[in-house]
Amino acid sequence: MRPRLWQWLLHPKLTMAVRIALGLVFIAAALPKIGDPPGFAKAIWAYQLVPGPALNPMALVLPWLELFCGLALCLGIWIRAAAAWVAMMLLAFGFALSINLARHHPVDCGCFGGAAQKTMAEQFADMRWSLLRDAGLLLLAGQVLLASGLKARSVGQVE
């Protein structure tokens, strides 16, 4: 039973679907931020984790990194590098959300652009859902990394 499960989890068609879905999520997340760097800088500032001088460079660079990684995953180029960067970004996003949850400091995740005004309870609920979403996306990135790593090893053995 286990070998069949691994075969299914690492099947090339599943891996392609996962990397395209993950890529589209990151493209969708990047576009509103690219269009509104000051708004994204405010979202980063709200976390109270980044020193002031780093806010603007982060607000300018991070969305483009998300876009390039999303495009790379969708197009099937630099798959391992893009999936690794996506995994690192998801870990950083999850860490930042977790710190603010632990501090009881509600923040809008800033993931897909601006958000409507919400009560504190709604913001905390959104933060928890964002953590769950990021954990799920991290699992998808892990699947792509694992499948592409095994593919790279098998190609290396054939050569």
pLDDT given for residue 152 in this prediction: 56
pLDDT(156) > 90: no
Q: Residues 97, 102, 105, CA angle at the centre, nearest 5°?
A: 70
Q: For the segment 30-84, what is each residue's pLDDT rounded down to a tens digit?
A: 999 999 999 999 999 989 999 999 999 999 999 999 999 999 999 999 999 999 9
Cα–Cα distances in Å, from 99 out to 23, 95, 140, 156? 26, 6, 23, 41
pTM: 0.84
pLDDT(127) > 60: yes
> Alpha-carbon distance 105 to 125, whole Å?
12
pLDDT given for residue 9 in this prediction: 78
Contact yes or no for 16/22 (Cβ under 8 A): no
pLDDT given for residue 8 in this prediction: 74
Contact yes or no for 81/23 (Cβ under 8 A): no
Q: Where are the domains of the chain?
A: 2-158
